[in-house]
């Protein structure tokens, strides 16, 4: 059957012999792509009378949406919280390197820093589509400095700030601009945080609760004002207590506004969260779980000393500590490792593990009509994986941007 070019001159690519993750199930069907979007084959056949220009045999691979990492502090020697003259080349390097780990979009994350760092770095982060040059940038995640001193974790205490009389103006003065900001992590127990949460939400910025000593009612109030995310659940917050479960209690709270879902990040690296805690969270609220790497500059590098913003960190195996302490400071796990560990630790289905790194972060950011699924008309950002969930190839806008070489498979 000749290809009908009346709709578009662009070639149609048909991926065959694969299992596609669609509607929460791995389905044995073909994937059709044109002009960077996923096609509905019925429309192609019946409305356009068209057919494929190129057929690719996927050799029984799983095809899943590309991973979305909403909390990554750097990697491969690059620290997003360091103001440097070649910041752009650093972010380009990370976006290129994470393709091999299945990440097709990400939110570069800055830890608590002095205002001068935000003023220098944020204008150098631009929201952009992914491609052969690297994963797409969805906007920055600013983790701090409006967080709790008691739960600062690896954040430098001398840079922490509170909301003064100006509240939202204080935040604007600290960051300098919110043009490229997608997520802000703050501690909801801070005075005047409610008005800040409302203002950020009004601007389409996702508010995440973290590095906090908030009790459950303070956390619920923050959600009622618009907060939708929890930064690395269990880490840097009050531990669960049966009389006041704190932020963790949001997973089963009955005070969440109707029609809203609270999402929560989990660092599934086998270090930050015991597998039993991972299982508890997943069983309590499976649809809110978002896998994040919380990766630091040392990801992809040998053990030793590296930076995390204003601090020096030490890598020992998969453990990363503030130098000279036992305070955990981010992770060196890659997203594909986190997906495999999550599946192994919880015994969840392959579909569930893959959606925690794709569909859920897309839903959190409100971009699930474009990314995080393989629905018709969505962006053709996808991965080929084997049954062990090892990434074999990464595609952005339907173009292959990374492939495991034959020797490494």
Task: Give binding residues for substrate as ranges.
Answer: 154, 235-236, 243, 272, 328-330
Q: Which structure tokens are listed for 24?
A: 């929460």
Residues annotated within a binding site for Zn(2+): 143, 211, 232
Say how far apart CA 353 and CA 357 lie, in whole Å: 7
- Give one word for 201, left, alpha or beta, with left for phi > 0 and alpha for psi -120 to 50: alpha
Question: Residue 187's Cα: distance from chain center in Å?
Answer: 20
Regarding beta strands 229-230 and 263-267, do their DSSP bridges make them parallel or antiparallel, or are they unpaired?
Answer: parallel
User: Is the alpha carbon torsion for 173, 178, 180, 182 positive or negative?
Assistant: positive
How many of the other CB atoms lie within 10 Å of CB of 386?
Answer: 14
Question: Residue 80's Cα: distance from chain center in Å?
Answer: 15
Select from 158, 154, 104, 402 the least CA-distant residue to 298: 154
Q: How far is CA 24 from CA 3, 27, 323, 331, 376, in A?
A: 31, 9, 43, 29, 14
Say how far apart CA 66 and CA 357 lie, in whole Å: 8
What is the full DSSP assignment across 263-315?
EEEEE-SSSSS-HHHHHHHHHH-GGGEEEE--B-TTTTS-SEEEEETTEEEEE
Select from 157, 409, 361, 168 the least CA-distant residue to 263: 361
Q: What are the backbone dihedrals phi and psi of residue 282, each rounded to the nearest 5 degrees, phi first?
A: -65, -40
Of residues 69, 79, 269, 294, which has the active-site annotation?
A: 294
Q: Which structure tokens are listed for 276?
A: 């039993």
CB 214 within 8 A of CB 188: yes
Residues annotated within a binding site: 143, 154, 211, 232, 235-236, 243, 272, 328-330
For residue 53, indicate whether it is catalytic.
no
| Length, in residues, of the chain | 409
Residues annotated as catalytic are 294
């Amino acid at each position: 059957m000749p290809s009908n070019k009346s709709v578009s001159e662009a070639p149609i690519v048909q991926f065959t012999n694969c299992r596609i993750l669609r509607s929460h199930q791995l389905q044995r069907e073909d994937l059709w792509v044109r002009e960077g979007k996923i096609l509905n084959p019925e429309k192609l056949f019946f409305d356009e009378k068209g057919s494929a220009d190129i057929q690719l045999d996927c050799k029984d691979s799983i095809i899943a949406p590309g991973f979305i990492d909403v909390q990554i502090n750097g990697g491969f020697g690059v620290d997003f919280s360091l103001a440097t003259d070649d910041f752009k080349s650093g972010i380009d390097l990370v976006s290129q390197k994470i393709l091999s780990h299945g990440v097709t979009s990400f939110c570069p994350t800055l830890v608590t820093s002095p205002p001068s760092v935000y003023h220098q770095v944020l204008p150098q982060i631009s929201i952009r589509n992914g491609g052969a040059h690297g994963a797409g940038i969805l906007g920055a995640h600013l983790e701090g400095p409006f967080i709790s001193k008691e739960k600062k974790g690896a954040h430098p205490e001398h840079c922490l700030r509170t909301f003064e009389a100006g509240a939202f103006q204080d935040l604007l003065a600290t960051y300098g601009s919110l043009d490229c900001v997608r997520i802000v992590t703050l501690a909801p127990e801070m005075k005047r945080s409610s008005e800040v949460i409302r203002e950020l939400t009004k601007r389409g910025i996702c508010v995440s609760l973290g590095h906090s000593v908030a009790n459950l009612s303070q956390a619920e109030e923050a959600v009622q004002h618009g907060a939708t995310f929890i930064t690395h659940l269990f880490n840097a917050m009050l531990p669960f207590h049966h009389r006041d479960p704190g932020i963790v209690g949001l997973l089963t709270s009955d005070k969440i506004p109707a029609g809203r879902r609270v999402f929560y990040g989990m660092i599934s690296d086998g270090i930050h969260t015991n597998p039993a805690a991972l299982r508890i969270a997943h069983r309590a609220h499976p649809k809110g779980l978002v896998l994040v790497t919380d990766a630091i500059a040392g990801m992809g590098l040998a053990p030793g000393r590296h930076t995390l913003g204003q601090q020096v960190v030490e890598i020992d195996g998969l453990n990363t500590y503030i130098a000279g302490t036992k305070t955990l400071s981010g992770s060196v796990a890659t997203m594909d490792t986190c997906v495999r560990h999550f599946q192994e630790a919880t015994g969840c289905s392959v579909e569930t593990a893959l959606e925690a790194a794709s569909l859920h972060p897309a839903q959190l950011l409100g971009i699930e009509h474009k990314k995080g699924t393989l629905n018709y008309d969505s962006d053709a950002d996808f991965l080929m994986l084997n049954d062990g969930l090892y990434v074999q190839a990464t595609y952005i806008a339907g173009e292959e941007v990374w492939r495991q070489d034959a020797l490494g498979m």
